[in-house]
């Protein structure tokens, strides 16, 4: 390692005094002007990670659904998954190290993680459409170059596209071609094969309105449009030409505010969906004939996909094990429907994509979605081999047909990470094949009314949870109080968990009516305020 070059370049990307940041599920995220040093240092870390695992590593410059003036960075591991938790710690250490300690911290990481400095390093870089992203990417490149890493800059891509490229590269092309064309071709071919049957049944054109959050999704969907079958007509809104990224639009806005985005004009019963800023989340919605807004969130997306896959697996007649993975935020009605009506096992894990992804890997077919619309389906190696073999060699026509549909579905799904483009195509194909309208999909079950609240506390660490965050262990007396409150309402449950990013405690409550859900959430928030060191005035109903 050339310590003089490191000193020189590091001085060009100085760390602001007194700034400490934490690498979390979303990587680093904060105001763009505070990130220059972090980007440079994540360039350094990516080189070390690449040398440690002897594979290509990805770096994505994005702050997803945050406001336009923010930015962020996350690293992508060899198979397109999120950075290994032990390296999240190294990322935090490196980002917060003082200038003169930088060399020492790098040396320590190399020792702890057994990094061979003489190996080659290869990095793939991508960025979103934020005004600050291009300049911050340059800082990443400086970091990579100082430690002698090789890099390929893909420029503007969605986050899932970068995850996909990294996986393609490290599987020597088995997962696909590590180019944008490769991505568009693989997905559109699988999609076209899938909906062929539904189009031959004489169905006319399929229209879908898409709110692109004024982000990267719009650019990439426009590039991909020529690859779609002509019967599929997508109409893009909030394409980034006029308004600010994520401002009053995007999947997060629609989910939180339970209303349509600005700039998208909805007619009754039209299918609409929203991507988030970096296109790794998707939610659907429509307005009924009376003008009432209906949200179809990640829980209902997981349910639709599960129904489809379960039917196919039954037809193929293989003993492949399927399960759905949720978090405590999943609506109680969805869990009940999956377990009782569909008879599919449901597992609950802690909040955060990495926990869902990890659990889903335990099954032949693992479906996971967060209620916010981030999710995908994972197929085990064994399941994939079986399905491809049946699609090719099965003598029974019906079984072979079902295996082919499964194979195309598998190729359409981006198994590395939640991908709004891929998820959208999967949903559109399933609705077409099953002849379902958006209203029929919505009517599978009725969500229990719920309410999300947050309470400011002096220190969020006073709350500790267990049972996938569904029960509070500390402070003493809090869980007993919640249990007592929950007993007052029908079909109710409530849980509290500390925020991963700020000193607030998040509260979720659901019950048989909106009035009861609101009342329960408020009562639980008062309990948190009094027992967990609330700040400011007590919560008001």
Rounded to whole angstroms, how far apart are CA atoms 349 and 357? 10
The catalytic residue positions are 64
Q: Is the pLDDT of residue 444 over 90?
A: yes
* Tens-digit pLDDT profile for residues 503-539: 899 999 999 999 999 999 999 999 999 999 999 999 9
Q: What is the pLDDT of residue 198?
A: 74
- Rounded to an integer, the average pLDDT of 320-338 is 96
**What residue spans define the domains of the chain?**
3-156, 182-295, 298-419+436-443, 450-532
Mark the binding-site residues for Mg(2+), compressed into ranges: 64, 276, 278, 280
Q: What is the pLDDT of residue 206?
A: 83
**Cβ within 8 Å of residue 39, ≥6 positions away:** 13, 61, 73, 136, 137, 139, 140, 143
- Rounded to an integer, the average pLDDT of 451-464 is 92
Q: Is the pLDDT of residue 541 over 90?
A: no
Q: What is the pLDDT of residue 200?
A: 59
**Cβ within 8 Å of residue 156, ≥6 positions away:** 126, 127, 128, 129, 216, 219
pTM: 0.94
Q: How far is residue 24 from each of residues 74, 90, 91, 170, 510, measured CA to CA in Å?
A: 9, 12, 10, 24, 28
Using left for φ > 0, alpha for ψ between -120 and 50, and beta otherwise, residue 509 falls in beta
Q: How sure is the predictor about 7, in pLDDT bands with cuts at 50, 70 and 90?
A: very high
* Tens-digit pLDDT profile for residues 37-53: 999 999 999 999 999 99
Rounded to whole angstroms, how far apart are CA atoms 389 and 314? 16
Q: Is the pLDDT of residue 58 over 60?
A: yes
Q: How sure is the predictor about 202, in pLDDT bands with cuts at 50, 70 and 90?
A: low
Q: Are 67 and 277 in contact (CB under 8 A)?
A: no
- Rounded to an integer, the average pLDDT of 62-67 is 91
Q: What is the pLDDT of residue 3?
A: 87
Q: How sure is the predictor about 201, in pLDDT bands with cuts at 50, 70 and 90?
A: low
3-156 and 182-295 in the same fold? yes
Rounded to whole angstroms, how far apart are CA atoms 11 and 1? 17
Q: How sure is the predictor about 18, in pLDDT bands with cuts at 50, 70 and 90?
A: confident
Residue from 121, 112, 74 nearest 90 by CA = 112
Q: What is the pLDDT of residue 500?
A: 74
Q: Which helix (H) or strand (E) holds 392?
A: helix 381-393
DSSP class of residue 373 equals S
Q: Is the pLDDT of residue 365 over 80?
A: yes
Rounded to whole angstroms, how far apart are CA atoms 159 and 144? 20
DSSP class of residue 513 equals S
Q: How sure is the predictor about 128, in pLDDT bands with cuts at 50, 70 and 90?
A: very high
Q: Is the pLDDT of residue 203 over 60?
A: no
Q: Is the pLDDT of residue 199 over 70?
A: no
Residue from 429, 385, 422 nearest 174 by CA = 385
Q: What is the pLDDT of residue 95?
A: 96
Q: Out of 3.30.470, 3.30.1370, 3.30.450, 3.40.120, which CATH number does the structure's domain 182-295 have?
A: 3.40.120
- Rounded to an integer, the average pLDDT of 113-125 is 95
Question: What's the CATH code, domain 3-156?
Answer: 3.40.120.10
Q: What is the pLDDT of residue 274?
A: 98
**Cβ within 8 Å of residue 315, ≥6 positions away:** 398, 399, 401, 402
Rounded to whole angstroms, how far apart are CA atoms 154 and 61? 11
Q: What is the pLDDT of residue 204?
A: 61
Question: What's the CATH code, domain 450-532?
Answer: 3.30.310.50
Q: Is the pLDDT of residue 195 over 80?
A: yes
User: Between the CA atoms of 243, 248, 252 and 254, what dihedral angle is there, to the nearest 10 degrees?
Assistant: -120
Pairing mode of beta strands 375-379, 493-498:
unpaired
Q: Is the pLDDT of residue 197 over 80?
A: no
* Tens-digit pLDDT profile for residues 242-280: 999 999 999 999 998 889 999 999 999 999 999 999 999
DSSP class of residue 130 equals -
Q: How sure is the predictor about 231, in pLDDT bands with cuts at 50, 70 and 90?
A: confident
- Mean of the per-residue pLDDT values of the chain: 94
Instruction: Name the residue with tokens 């997981």.
Output: 302
Domain 298-419+436-443 has CATH 3.10.530: no
Mark the binding-site residues for substrate, compressed into ranges: 370-372, 497-501, 506
Using left for φ > 0, alpha for ψ between -120 and 50, and beta otherwise, residue 227 falls in alpha
Q: How sure is the predictor about 26, in pLDDT bands with cuts at 50, 70 and 90?
A: confident
- Rounded to an integer, the average pLDDT of 29-38 is 95
Mark the binding-site residues, compressed into ranges: 64, 276, 278, 280, 370-372, 497-501, 506
Rounded to whole angstroms, how far apart are CA atoms 455 and 533? 10
DSSP class of residue 457 equals B
């Amino acid at each position: 390692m050339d310590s003089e070059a490191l000193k020189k370049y590091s001085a060009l990307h100085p760390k602001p005094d007194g700034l400490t940041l934490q690498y979390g599920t979303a990587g680093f995220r904060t105001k763009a002007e505070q990130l220059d040093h972090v980007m440079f240092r994540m360039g350094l870390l990516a080189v070390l990670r690449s040398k440690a695992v002897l594979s290509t590593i990805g770096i994505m410059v994005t702050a997803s659904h945050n406001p336009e003036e923010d930015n962020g960075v996350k690293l992508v591991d060899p198979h397109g998954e999120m950075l290994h938790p032990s390296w999240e710690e190294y990322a935090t250490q490196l980002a917060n190290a003082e200038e003169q300690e930088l060399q020492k911290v790098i040396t320590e990481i190399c020792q702890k993680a057994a990094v061979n400095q003489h190996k080659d390093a290869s990095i793939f870089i991508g960025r979103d459409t934020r005004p600050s992203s291009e300049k911050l990417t340059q800082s990443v490149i400086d970091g990579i170059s100082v430690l002698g890493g090789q890099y390929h800059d893909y420029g503007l891509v969605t986050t899932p596209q970068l995850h996909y490229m990294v996986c393609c590269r490290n599987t020597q092309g088995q997962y696909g071609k590590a180019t944008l064309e490769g991505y568009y071709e693989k997905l559109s071919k699988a999609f076209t094969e899938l909906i062929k049957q539904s189009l031959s049944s004489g169905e006319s054109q399929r229209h879908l309105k898409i709110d692109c959050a004024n982000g990267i999704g719009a650019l990439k969907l426009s590039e991909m449009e020529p690859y779609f079958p002509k019967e599929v007509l997508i109409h893009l809104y909030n394409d980034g030409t006029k308004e600010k990224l994520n401002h009053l639009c995007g999947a997060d806005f629609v989910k939180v505010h339970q209303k349509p985005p600005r700039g998208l004009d909805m007619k009754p019963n039209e299918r609409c969906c929203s991507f988030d800023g970096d296109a790794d989340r998707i939610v659907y919605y429509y307005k009924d004939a009376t003008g009432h807004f209906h949200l179809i969130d990640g829980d209902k997306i997981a349910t639709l996909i599960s129904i489809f896959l379960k039917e196919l697996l039954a037809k193929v007649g293989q003993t492949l094990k399927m399960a759905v993975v949720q978090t405590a935020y999943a609506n109680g009605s969805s869990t009940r429907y999956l377990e009782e009506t569909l008879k599919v096992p449901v597992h609950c894990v802690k909040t955060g994509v990495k926990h869902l992804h990890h659990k889903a890997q335990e099954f032949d077919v693992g479906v996971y979605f967060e209620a916010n619309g981030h999710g995908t389906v994972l197929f085990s190696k064994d399941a994939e081999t079986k399905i491809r073999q049946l699609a090719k060699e099965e003598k029974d026509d019906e079984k072979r047909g079902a295996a082919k549909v499964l194979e195309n579905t598998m190729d359409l799904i981006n198994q590395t990470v939640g991908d709004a483009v891929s998820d959208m195509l999967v949903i559109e194909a399933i609705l077409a094949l099953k002849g379902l309208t958006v209203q029929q999909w919505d009517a599978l079950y009725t969500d229990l009314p719920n309410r999300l609240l947050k309470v400011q506390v002096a220190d969020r660490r006073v709350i500790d949870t267990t049972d996938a965050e569904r029960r509070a262990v500390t402070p003493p007396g809090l869980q007993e109080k919640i249990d007592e409150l929950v007993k007052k309402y029908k079909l109710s449950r409530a849980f509290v968990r500390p925020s991963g990013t700020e000193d607030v405690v998040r509260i979720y409550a659901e019950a048989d009516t909106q009035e009861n859900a609101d009342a329960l959430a408020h009562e639980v928030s008062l309990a948190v305020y009094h027992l967990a060191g609330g700040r400011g005035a007590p919560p008001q109903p």
